[in-house]
Amino acid sequence: MSVGIFNEFAFRPFMLIPEALQIAWTEASALTESGEPEKALELLRSVAWDACENGAQQARTLRFAADAGTALGEKDITNQKRHWQRAHKNYRKALNFDPKNKETRRRMNKLASMMDEQAISLGAGLQFFDEGNPTPLGLASLLIAGLLLLVSFKVITDWIDTPEDSPIVTLEISYMPSGGNERVTAFVEIELYRDEAPNHVENFLLLVEDSSYDFTKFHRIIDDFMIQGGDFENEDGTGGSTGKWYGYCNGDELDGAGNSHTAESCPQSSWTIGDEADNGLLHTPGSLAMAKTSAANTGSSQFYIVPGDSTPSHLDGVHTVFGQVISGLEHVTAISEADTPNSTQQGSGDTPINEVRLIQVTVND
């Protein structure tokens, strides 16, 4: 493997690491080295991440995931760009947890060099600053911006007022098909409708930017209806919040005394978003919509996707539709058919028997 993995555990004897986590790290490293990075990633996702107890352990888990993603990109040339961009993102997230880790930064820089050789973008958009200092691209951009401002203020105004294209995001989902015995990794692309639901799209992208959805579960699945996820707090449908303050506290603008709620007076876990359900978008196969309670303006981070065999029109005008699947709908449909206690008559409940994990969400270039 290009990045080179070594057994680093012996160098930190005083670090308290859960036994399950250390075993998962060791096995994942061995799998990556032996040419089975897919199994390494699955182990890190299903065992290691849940066993982490602090940011340092999460950082190292993300680094091993990035190592495996790098190896997977070398193995799966057809999808090399996707694998390497996700690996680079995991290195960056690892550095967010542990910014002084030189080994992580070294591996990330080596991957960036490999990506540059293959003309693969880093997947993080244009980089104008690096740790507070302008990059060459940043300096050039500042110069061009200044020249444009001097040439024509109207040109700048027209450019700023130009509507942005509808962003497209990719959801990487790991699931077990009904009746299957092997997990499937699916990539589902969704176009977000910024013009029709600006606040919902902004909120979703803010949560994506904060990596809030990464490694969360689709906790509620109903065949012929929808798959629901986005509870990054409790993963059972009882948690989540918006990416910023939108003026609603559990759906209310005013408190019991008639005063306006504020971001300071309302706990962040209770931040919700105003409905945009009257935007004309209907629930059709592949629709992405905001989950909420029966009360108005109670959506936050939880969302649901309509599978290919469902048209829940009774939700039109009640729940805000803010996106549409443009690729991978067959996976959404397969996930909606995953085994649950209800579907198998082994009890009650819509939580899938074999967890459906949302690995990460990325914004397409």
Residues 242-293: tens digit of each pLDDT: 999 999 999 999 999 999 999 999 999 999 999 999 999 999 999 999 999 9
The residue assigned the tokens 């958009």 is 125
| Residue 51: C-alpha distances to residues 54, 188, 257 (Å) | 9, 27, 44
* Nearest-10 Cα torsion for 97, 98, 103, 107: 30
Give pLDDT, residue 126: 44
C-alpha pair distances (Å), 229 with each of 67, 137, 221, 285, 348: 27, 38, 9, 17, 19
According to the model, what pLDDT value does residue 155 have? 39
The one-letter amino acid code at 88 reads H
In this prediction, residues 331-344 reach a mean pLDDT of: 95
pLDDT at 365 over 50: yes
Percent of the chain whose predicted confidence (pLDDT) is above 90 = 68
Tokens standing for residue 199: 């606040």
pLDDT band at 127; cut points 50, 70, 90: very low
pLDDT in tens, 183-207: 999 999 999 999 999 999 999 999 9
Dihedral sign, Cα of residue 161, residue 131, residue 54, residue 173: positive
**Banded pLDDT at 132 (limits 50, 70, 90):** very low
**Average pLDDT estimate for 70-92:** 91
Question: Residue 287 and residue 323: Cα distance in Å, rounded?
Answer: 6
- Distance between CA atoms of residues 219 and 211, nearest Å: 18
The token pair that represents 202 in the structure block: 């902004």
3-state secondary structure the chain: CCCCCCCCHHHCCCCCCCHHHHHHHHHHHHHHHCCCHHHHHHHHHHHHHHHCCCHHHHHHHHHHHHHHHHHHHHHCHHHHHHHHHHHHHHHHHHHHHCCCCHHHHHHHHHHHHHHHHCCCCCCCCCCCEECCEECHHHHHHHHHHHHHHHHCHHHHHHHHHCCCCCCEEEEEEEECCCCCCCCEEEEEEEEECCCCCHHHHHHHHHHHHCCCCCCEEEEEEECCCEEEECCCCCCCCCCCCCCCCCCEECCECECCCCCECCCCCCCHHHEEECCCCCCCCCCCCCEEEECCCCCCCCECCCEEECCCCCCCHHHCCCCCEEEEEEECHHHHHHHHCCCCHHHHCCCCCCCCCCCCEEEEEEECC
* Cα 94 from chain centre: 15
pTM: 0.69
Percent of the chain with pLDDT over 70: 84
Query: Tokens representing 85?
Result: 């961009």
For tokens 């994990």, the residue is 357
Please count the residues of the chain: 365
Of 149-153, 212-216, 249-253, the poorest mean pLDDT is in: 149-153
pLDDT at 6: 42
